[in-house]
Structure 1
Amino acid sequence: MTTARAATILLLLVVAACAPRQLPQLPPPPVVAPSGDLRLWPNRDAIQSACLNDLAATGAEFELIAQAQPGKGGCTLVNGVRLIRTGVPLNRPVEVTCPLALRLMQFEREVMQPEALRVFGKPLGSINHAGGFNCKRMTGNGARISEHGHGRAIDIWGFTLADGTRISIADHFRARGREGDFLRQVSRQACRYFSVVLGPNADASHAKHFHWDISQWKRCGA
């Protein structure tokens, strides 16, 4: 072998050793994402995805839940989420539709929190509810399914301020002073955000809580 040929072979071996090796293609890693991350649910329809994107953008904490099968009473939960907190925690997670969760988030940010700061000089610490999705009939009209039966309603019994002060509809709605002022103002403003607003001024069935829903009907019983 000539010196020139040997040098060429040596050069080719050095180049081959330095060249990057082709690695086998690996499957993508599993997605580990925070609750509410839309990558976990890539097949949602466009409307639902838009709502979830809007809800996630607000900073709300939530989990996506499977669509509930129709129950014996015709109750369903479509486009549902388990809402854990808006800008503040809920006393416990609540299952509602994404549109209702988004509306509640907007109402907390635009009305409830500013009102708490105005009246008490302190922010809200939590929103205390008595339930969202619940298969039951409408109060006063047993022939119709309640909006709770479709996750389009939520019942609120009170609030807690950041310093631990508790405010309840049952104890303070008709009271004089800051607590009553706050609750009555929140109830009135709710009519701009929700379709049906019921409370102590509406009927005896809502003497101890607010009912807010996004049904096709319209009633302001604040």
Structure 2
Amino acid sequence: MAASFRVSAGIVAALGLMLLASACAPRQSARSVPQAPPAPHAGALLFWPNRDPIQSACLNDLQATGAQFELIAQAEPGKDGCTLQNGVKLIRSSLTLNRPVELTCPMALRLVQFEQEVLQPEAQKLFGQSLVQLNHAGGFTCKAMTGNGSRISEHGHGRAIDIWGFMLGDGTRLSVAEQFRARGREGQYLREMNRAACRYFSVVLGPNADAAHAKHFHWDIGQWKRCGA
């Protein structure tokens, strides 16, 4: 009985100390303790004004590539049938651009993906250095399709871009007009990259397609399919 009493007394003493410590501790209200905001979810979408979820998802994917761009207000079809939906003004893709270009978000995203997955790795492999600049002749512009004046070009919907060349890190210029048919690495690179573009874009045109594309590449993501590389 004595041993049992000593254990019980020890428990009581311990409880007493705990209650005393609680009573002596400074009291704080819940309001006086700042609450840390919840950590943002890694996959959370940013808010893009006047964009539906599908459009917003594209804008988030484009932003994740590191591209620099500005939103363009949604445009209703004009009198010639041209329009630009979910458009962006691409200031810098994964490369420096010779000037900003207006495209739909899906077209801008496809261009950046092609740069990162094909153009840049192949430049490193062939030249031992990076591409630093993409030179283009325009994206969104209201005009008819080449050879078919009754149909709006994909440029008229912001789904196309015309490329006339690139520049390497050491300043070497790669020109479609001057080097596409040339021997050596420059011509090889231009020909191979335009063929590779057929895996990423719906219509790919260049000097091998027709005279209208003798000096530039046309890449678009329209509904028609043609690999004229």
Map 1:16-55 onto structure 2 (within 5 A): 38-39=46-47, 41-55=48-62
> By how many angstroms is 1:111 displaced?
0.5
**Deviation larger for 58-67 or 185-194:** 58-67
> By how many angstroms is 1:38 displaced?
4.3
Deviations 1:130-189 (A, max 9, x none): 000000000000010000000000000000111111111000000000100110110010
Distance across 1 between alignment mates of 2:73 and 2:46:
14
Distance across 2 between alignment mates of 1:131 and 1:212:
11
Residue type of the partner of 1:65?
I
* Structure 1 segments unaligned to the other structure (5+ residues): 1-18, 22-36
Match of 2:94 in 1: 87
> By how many angstroms is 1:123 displaced?
0.3
TM-score, normalised by the number of residues in structure 1: 0.82
* 3-state DSSP of counterpart to 1:191: helix
**Is the contact between residue 125 and residue 163 of structure 1 (CA under 8 Å) also seen in structure 2?**
no
> By how many angstroms is 1:96 displaced?
0.3
Candidates 161, 171, 175, aligned match of 2:178: 171
TM-score, normalised by the number of residues in structure 2: 0.79
Across the two proteins, how many residue pairs are aligned to each other?
190
**Is the contact between residue 82 and residue 94 of structure 1 (CA under 8 Å) also seen in structure 2?**
yes
Distance across 1 between alignment mates of 2:162 and 2:101:
10
Deviations 1:167-216 (A, max 9, x none): 11000000000100110110010000000000000000000000000011
Candidates 76, 87, 93, aligned match of 2:83: 76
Structure 2 residue 217 is matched with structure 1 residue 210: yes
Match of 1:107 in 2: 114
> By how many angstroms is 1:71 displaced?
2.0
Match of 1:154 in 2: 161
Distance across 2 between alignment mates of 1:50 and 1:65:
16
Structure 2 residue 212 is matched with structure 1 residue 182: no
Deviations 1:36-81 (A, max 9, x none): x944x34410110110111111111111111123222110000000
Residue type of the partner of 2:221?
I
Structure 2 residue 145 is matched with structure 1 residue 138: yes
> By how many angstroms is 1:127 displaced?
0.5
